[in-house]
């Protein structure tokens, strides 16, 4: 499976189902949409497609989604995940009108797990390991918040710890130097599919360009292979896309998250 159309079909068929919302505390179906609720006050909206809805029907769906989440006092923020290859008439304008703000588009990267496996030398004093203990997880989440320009959030760390407690296959990996986490990311094997996801890749600015992210990606790919996964998917920023492309992954479409905050 190495051509873009075949990879994209596998992505749409295998991943754009309930498989996309692991760890949700509740899932509501609204027409073609899945409305997930997570610990920490987060809502997440996704779909396989919009079922042929026209612009007016799309606008009504957006209004109904906001009504659903506004009715839950625990919800603090909502992400609506869109894809560039979907037919979604009027969705962009309807989301903006409802107060959603788009993030920069990211590339949907797909390819073989084996293509990511490589022996990558690490800088002196840097080591990789999988983390599960609460202090390590909180330190990892705080580092990622800082790298992504977000306030350090105890609630986000709580949500990750909740996921770990579910024991649903998610793995957390870090690179450390002198006891300080300098790079981190997670592996999300998707049950019942050929896929594992490579997510949350973040490296401190002063440690970038030294092969650490590539080595961390290879470690997660080895773990995915051990779990029987043959394909990998990732939503990549402009920073990580070149690394994954050099490893043989393909950019097959784009995804743009739209965010709404209470």
All structural domains of the chain: 15-107 (no CATH), 111-253 (3.40.630.30)
- How far, in Å, CA of 46 to CA of 27, rounded? 11
| C-alpha separations of 94 from 87, 91, 98, 254, 259 in Å | 14, 5, 6, 19, 13
**9-42 confidence digits (pLDDT tens):** 999 999 999 999 988 999 999 999 999 999 889 9
**174-199 confidence digits (pLDDT tens):** 999 999 999 999 999 999 999 999 99
Length of the chain, in residues: 262
- How far, in Å, CA of 171 to CA of 163, rounded? 10
Q: Is residue 58's pLDDT more than 80? A: yes
**239-254 confidence digits (pLDDT tens):** 888 888 888 899 999 9
- How far, in Å, CA of 221 to CA of 217, rounded? 6
Instruction: Evaluate whether 128 touches 174 at the Cβ level (below 8 Å).
Output: yes
């Amino acid at each position: 499976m190495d051509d873009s159309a075949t990879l994209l079909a596998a992505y749409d068929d295998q991943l754009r189902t309930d498989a996309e919302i692991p760890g949700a505390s509740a899932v509501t179906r609204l027409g073609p949409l899945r409305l997930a609720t997570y610990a920490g006050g987060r809502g997440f909206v996704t779909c396989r497609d919009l079922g042929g809805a026209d612009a007016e029907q799309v606008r009504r769906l957006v209004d109904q989604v906001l009504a659903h989440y506004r009715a839950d006092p625990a919800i603090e923020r909502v992400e609506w995940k869109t894809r560039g290859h979907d037919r979604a008439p009027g969705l962009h304008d309807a989301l903006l009108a409802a107060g959603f703000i788009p993030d920069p588009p990211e590339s949907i990267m797909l390819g073989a797990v084996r293509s990511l496996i490589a022996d990558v030398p690490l800088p002196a004093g840097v080591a990789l390991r999988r983390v599960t203990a609460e202090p390590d997880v909180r330190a990892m989440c705080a580092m990622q918040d800082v790298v992504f320009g977000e306030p350090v959030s105890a609630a986000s760390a709580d949500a990750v710890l909740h996921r770990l407690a579910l024991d649903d296959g998610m793995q957390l990996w870090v690179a450390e130097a002198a006891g300080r986490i300098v790079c981190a990311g997670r592996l999300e094997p998707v049950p019942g599919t050929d896929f594992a996801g490579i997510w949350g890749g973040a490296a401190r600015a002063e440690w970038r360009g030294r092969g650490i992210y590539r080595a961390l990606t290879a470690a997660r790919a080895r773990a995915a292979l051990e779990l029987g996964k043959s394909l990998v998917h990732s939503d990549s920023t402009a920073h990580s896309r070149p690394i994954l492309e050099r490893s043989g992954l393909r950019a097959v479409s784009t995804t743009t998250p739209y965010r709404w905050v209470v």
